[in-house]
Structure 1
Amino acid sequence: MLTVHHLENSRSQRVLWLLEELAVPYELIRYDRDPQTMLAPAALRAIHPLGKSPVITEDGEAIAETGAVVEYILERHGQGRLAPPAGTSAHRRMRYWLHYAEGSAMPPLLLKLVFGTLPARAPALMRPIVNAIAKRAQSGFVDPQLQLHFDYWEGELEKAEWFAGPEFSAADVMMSFPLEAAADRGAARVGRPKLAAFLKRIHQRPAYRRALERGGPYAYAGD
């Protein structure tokens, strides 16, 4: 049976959701973050050397990186569901969003998190300087980049309800975490009704709710 090594409040929530959408049986092993560092526990390194989540295991093989995990699940367990037919424009569009979600969308969101928490972690004497640098980095680079991506998402969702077209697909599962994180960290919903409506739609899906029940507390699920 497929096993999901699930870290609380992490990208692996998408994997649970995808499996619930596909009604694929799976075993769940939960991991808690270190309360001081908020990093994954060392136990995850026994599953994969980087100690990151999500990681899935099946038939003695460990697969990491969310996009690779999603593609594996679709290929082995999807039976053509949640993916447009191969070779079509819609399929290429879905694959684009699978890679875009981590390759382009997440880096500025991660920078927002890092620069936002950096001053509090600095020594007291250095804190005013670090705070000034962090604010300048955010206002001069990070925030403009985020606004660019937020507006891009809004524009794409004006074309269709879902990222790969008129039908819900794995692209929407993959894009859920960047949009949820953006709404939490960057007020992405403000002035963007299509983005806000997307989040509301996914949060109302029964499979999404089931994934929350199995995965435990998840800070980004609010509307």
Structure 2
Amino acid sequence: MITVHNLENSQSIRILWLLEELGVPYEIKQYKRDAATDLAPSDYKRLHQIGTSPTISDGDLVLPETNAIVDYILDKHPNATLRPEPGSEERARYLFWFHATQGSFMPLLLDSLIFKRMISKVPFFLRPVMSAVVGKVRAAYLEPRITRMLSFIEEELGRSTWLAGDSLSAADIVMGYCLEVAEVRIGFGGQYPNITAYLGRMRSRPAYKTALAKNGAFRPFAS
């Protein structure tokens, strides 16, 4: 049986949601973040050499990385409908969003968090200088890229109920976490109604609600 090593307030909520959508049994081992650093505790980092969340174990196998875990689990359940069939009209959209979420969008959200902490963690007398420097980098690099990504997601969700079509796919399970983080960290301000409706559909799914209950209160880091 798969064990989800569930680090609080982390991307592992995706794996719980995936397993709930599949309706398969699994175990959870809960881990609290270090109160001083907000980082994973030492026993979590010892699970695997790279020490990141999410991480699962299955027998002797220990596997981190969201997309690797999702593919591993779906390979074990080949009759699941969370990956469009190869050659189908939805397959290319699925592949794009499944990989762009982690390869393009998630790094931007991480940069956003790092830039905020670059200001909040320096001595107060340095904050005006740091704010000016970070502000220029955000304006020139980060904000245009995030806006392009959100605008494209908004456009795609005007075409279909979910990212790859009118059926939920693993691309949505991966993207859902990113959009919840973006909602908290960046804010939508009514600018992306299709994304807001999409998050509402996601949060209304019984499997997501069950995953959230098992995960514990999920609070994406704002700063």
Q: Which runs of 5+ in 1 are unaligned?
A: none
**Distance in 2 between residues matched to 1:112 and 1:46, nearest whole Å:** 28
AA matched with 2:109: L
Q: Report the equivalent of 1:7.
A: 7
**Distance in 2 between residues matched to 1:190 and 1:139, nearest whole Å:** 21
Q: Report the equivalent of 1:157.
A: 157
Matches within 5 A, 1:158-173: 158-173=158-173
Following TM superposition, by how much is the alpha carbon of 1:192 offset from its aligned partner in structure 2, in angstroms? 1.2
Following TM superposition, by how much is the alpha carbon of 1:66 offset from its aligned partner in structure 2, in angstroms? 0.3
AA matched with 2:85: P
AA matched with 1:56: I
Kept in 2: contact 1:8–1:218 (CA 8 A): yes
**Distance in 1 between residues matched to 2:63 and 2:87, nearest whole Å:** 25
Q: Report the equivalent of 2:82.
A: 82
Following TM superposition, by how much is the alpha carbon of 1:19 offset from its aligned partner in structure 2, in angstroms? 0.2
Q: Report the equivalent of 2:92.
A: 92
State the percentage of identical aligned residues.
39
Q: Report the equivalent of 2:55.
A: 55
Kept in 2: contact 1:176–1:199 (CA 8 A): yes
| Length-normalised TM-score, structure 1 | 0.94
Aligned length: 220
Kept in 1: contact 2:20–2:207 (CA 8 A): yes
AA matched with 2:45: R
Please, which moves more after superposition, 155-164 or 140-149? 140-149
Matches within 5 A, 1:168-183: 168-183=168-183
Following TM superposition, by how much is the alpha carbon of 1:78 offset from its aligned partner in structure 2, in angstroms? 4.7
AA matched with 2:10: S
Matches within 5 A, 1:60-71: 60-71=60-71
Q: Which runs of 4+ in 1 moved over 3 A?
A: none
AA matched with 1:132: A
Kept in 2: contact 1:150–1:188 (CA 8 A): no
**Distance in 2 between residues matched to 1:200 and 1:111, nearest whole Å:** 26
Map Cα deviations across residues 114-138 of structure 1 (whole Å, 9 max, x no partner).
1112112113332221121112222
Q: Report the equivalent of 1:205.
A: 205
**Distance in 1 between residues matched to 2:22 and 2:169, nearest whole Å:** 11
| Length-normalised TM-score, structure 2 | 0.94
Matches within 5 A, 1:181-200: 181-188=181-188, 190-200=190-200
Q: Which runs of 5+ in 2 are unaligned?
A: none
Kept in 2: contact 1:112–1:142 (CA 8 A): yes
**Distance in 2 between residues matched to 1:175 and 1:18, nearest whole Å:** 12
Kept in 1: contact 2:22–2:80 (CA 8 A): no
